[in-house]
């Protein structure tokens, strides 16, 4: 079931969000200071391609002061735009009954898009 869900997610909006993360990563890697944020974008881009069968969890410990500083910089630069992309796609897909699973996946990814340092994507164990 995850394969079918991931295929629909990729075709109906997943590719767009993937491109957003990749563009954000490339822009962030243009500066030396933004390289850690760019690598985070690339890591998240790989994670948003197949959200079905995965979950977003907080890391233990959450990361401390460095994670807080990086999350603040993240929100100012690519994070807010990426979270808004997830929210708009979730709203669009929530308009139809068929799109509700896709909307749920986008809503699941909003915290990760907004505050990636201190969160990670992991496989759901069945």
Is 70 exceeded by the pLDDT of residue 1? no
In the chain, which residue ranges form alpha helices assigned H by DSSP?
2-9, 15-28, 35-48, 64-74, 80-94, 100-114
pLDDT of residue 62: 61
Provide mean pLDDT across the span 70-96: 89
Is 80 exceeded by the pLDDT of residue 126? no
Q: 9-55: per-residue pLDDT in tens? A: 888 888 888 998 899 899 889 988 888 889 888 988 888 888 888 88
Residue 60's SS3 state is: coil
Q: 89-120: per-residue pLDDT in tens? A: 899 999 988 889 989 988 988 888 888 888 88
Is 90 exceeded by the pLDDT of residue 57? no
Residue 76's SS3 state is: helix
> How far is Cα of residue 121 from the mean position of the Cα atoms in its chain?
9
Measured CA angle at 28 (ends 26, 32), to 5 deg: 115
pLDDT of residue 122: 83
Provide mean pLDDT across the span 71-85: 87
Q: What is the mean pLDDT of the chain?
A: 86
pTM: 0.82
């Amino acid at each position: 079931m995850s394969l079918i869900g991931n295929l629909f997610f990729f075709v109906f909006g997943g590719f767009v969000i993937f491109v957003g993360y990749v563009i954000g990563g490339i822009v962030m890697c243009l500066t030396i200071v933004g390289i850690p944020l760019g690598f985070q974008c690339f890591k998240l881009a790989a994670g948003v391609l197949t959200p079905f069968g995965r979950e977003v969890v907080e890391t233990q410990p959450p990361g401390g002061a460095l994670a807080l500083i990086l999350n603040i910089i993240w929100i100012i630069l690519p994070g807010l735009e990426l979270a808004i992309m997830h929210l708009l796609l979730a709203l669009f897909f929530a308009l139809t009954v068929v799109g509700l699973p896709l909307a749920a996946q986008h809503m699941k990814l909003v915290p990760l898009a907004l505050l990636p340092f201190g969160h990670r994507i992991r496989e759901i164990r069945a």
